[in-house]
Amino acid sequence: MSDFIDLTSAAAESATYGADERDRMGFFTDTTLCIGCKACEVACKEWNQLPSDGYEFTGESYDNTKELSGNTWRHVAFVEQMEPERDTGRWLMESDVCKHCTHAGCLDVCPTGAIIRTEFGTVVIQDDICNGCGYCVVACPFGVIGEKQEDHTMGKCTLCYDRLKVGEQPACAKACPTESIQYGVVDELRERAENRLQKIQEKFASAQLYLNDPNDGVGGGGSLFLLLDKPQVYGLPPNPIVPTKDLPQRWRTAGIAAAALFGAVVLCAVSRR
Partner 1 sequence: MSAGYYGRPIVKPPAWTDLIPTYFFAGGLAGTAATLAFAERTARNDRLARTMIFGAATGCAVSAFCLIADLKKPERFINMLRVVKPTSPMSVGVYIFSAFSGSVFIAAGCEVTGIARPAGRFFGAIAGLIGPVMSVYTAVLVGDTVMPAWHLPRKTLPGLFAATSAASAGAWGLLFASARDNGSARRLALVGGTAMVAILQALHHEIGPTQAEAYSKGEAGALARTARVLNVGGIVCAALGKNSNVISKVAGALLLAGGLTERFAVYRAGCASAKDPKYVLDSQA
Distance (Å, whole) CA 3 – CA 47: 39
- Tell me the site size for partner 1, rule CB under 8 A: 74
Task: Pick the binder of ligand SF4 from 144, 159, 207, 224 (CB under 6 A).
Answer: 144
The DSSP code for 85 is T
Q: How far is CA 104 from CA 22, 110, 177, 268, in A?
A: 19, 10, 30, 44
Nearer to ligand SF4, 132 or 184 (CB): 132
Contacted by 125, from ligand SF4, partner 1, none: CB < 5 to 8 Å by type: ligand SF4
Site for partner 1 in 60-99 (CB under 8 A): 60, 63, 66-67, 77, 79
Task: For the CB of residue 163, give the shortest distance to partner 1 in the complex, in Å.
Answer: 26
Distance (Å, whole) CA 94 – CA 210: 12
Contacted by 176, from partner 1, ligand SF4, none: CB < 5 to 8 Å by type: none
The interface region with ligand SF4, picked from 17-25, 44-52, 94-102, 163-171 by CB under 6 A, is 94-102
Taking CB under 6 A as the rule, which mask of x and - marks residues 43-82 in contact with ligand SF4? ----------------------------------------
| Contact in structure between 113 and 197 (CB atoms under 8 Å) | no
Nearer to partner 1, 35 or 133 (CB): 133
Task: Pick the binder of partner 1 from 36, 184, 214, 237 (CB under 8 A).
Answer: 237
Nearest one of 268, 250, 219, 204 to 31, comparing CA atoms = 204
By the rule CB under 6 A, 92 interacts with ligand SF4 = no
Site for partner 1 in 98-117 (CB under 8 A): 105, 108-114
Task: For the CB of residue 38, give the shortest distance to ligand SF4 in the complex, in Å.
Answer: 21
- Count of all residues that appear for the chain in the document: 273
By the rule CB under 8 A, 189 interacts with partner 1 = no
| Contact in structure between 89 and 80 (CB atoms under 8 Å) | yes
- Phi then psi for 237, rounded to 5 degrees? -70, 130
By the rule CB under 6 A, 123 interacts with ligand SF4 = yes
| Contact in structure between 128 and 269 (CB atoms under 8 Å) | no
Task: For the CB of residue 256, give the shortest distance to ligand SF4 in the complex, in Å.
Answer: 28
Task: For the CB of residue 40, give the shortest distance to partner 1 in the complex, in Å.
Answer: 18
By the rule CB under 6 A, 245 interacts with ligand SF4 = no
DSSP codes, 95-153: EEE----SS-HHHHH-TTS-EEE-TTS-EEE-TTT-----TGGGT-TT---EEETTTTE
Nearer to partner 1, 61 or 169 (CB): 61
Nearer to ligand SF4, 113 or 255 (CB): 113
Residues contacting 26, CB < 8 A, separation 6+: 100, 121, 122, 159, 183, 184, 185, 186, 189, 221, 222, 223, 224
By the rule CB under 8 A, 19 interacts with partner 1 = no
